[in-house]
Amino acid sequence: MTASTRAPLRRAVLAIAALCAAAPALAAEELTLYTTREPGLVKPLLAAFTARTGVEVNTVFVKDGLLERVKAEGTRSPADVLMTVDVGNLLDLVEGGVTQPVKSAALESAIPAQLRGADGQWFSLSLRARVLYASKDLPLTTIRYEDLADPKWKGKVCTRPGQHPYNTALVAAMLAHNGEAATEKWLQGFKANLGRKPAGGDRDVARDILGGICDIGIANSYYVGQMKTSKEGSDGRKWGDAIKVVKPAFGKGGGTHVNISGAAVAKHAPQRANAVKLLEFLTSPSAQELYAQANYEYPVRPGVTLDPVIAAAIGPIKPDTLQLTEIAKHRKAASALIDKVGFDR
Distance (Å) of CA 32 to CA 44, 122, 203, 275 = 16, 17, 33, 8
Query: How many angstroms from the chain centroid is the CA of residue 104?
Result: 23
Count of residues for the chain?
A: 345
- Spatial separation of the C-alpha atoms in residues 82 and 63, rounded to whole Å: 13
User: Is 3.40.190.10 the CATH number for 129-256+317-340?
Assistant: yes
d(CA 235, CA 143): 27
Tens-digit pLDDT string for the chain (345 aa): 444 444 554 455 445 444 444 444 434 699 999 999 887 778 889 999 999 999 999 999 998 999 999 999 999 999 999 999 889 899 999 999 999 999 999 999 999 998 999 999 999 999 999 999 999 999 999 999 999 999 999 999 999 999 999 999 999 999 999 999 999 999 999 999 999 999 999 999 999 999 999 999 999 999 999 999 999 999 999 999 999 999 999 998 899 999 999 999 999 999 999 999 999 999 999 999 988 888 899 999 999 999 999 999 999 999 998 989 999 999 999 999 999 999 999
| Domain boundaries defined on the chain | 3-127+259-313, 129-256+317-340
- Check for a shared fold between 3-127+259-313 and 129-256+317-340: yes
The C-alpha atoms of residue 305 and residue 116 are separated, in whole angstroms, by 21
Contact 327, 173 (CB under 8 A): yes
**How far is Cα 202 from Cα 221, in angstroms, rounded to an integer?**
9
For the chain, how many helices (H) and strands (E)?
15, 10
Whole-number Cα distances in Å, 121 to 68, 211, 261: 18, 45, 14
Which of 209, 124, 112, 234 shows the shortest CA–CA distance to 158?
209
pTM of the model: 0.86
Classify domain 3-127+259-313 at the CATH class level. alpha beta
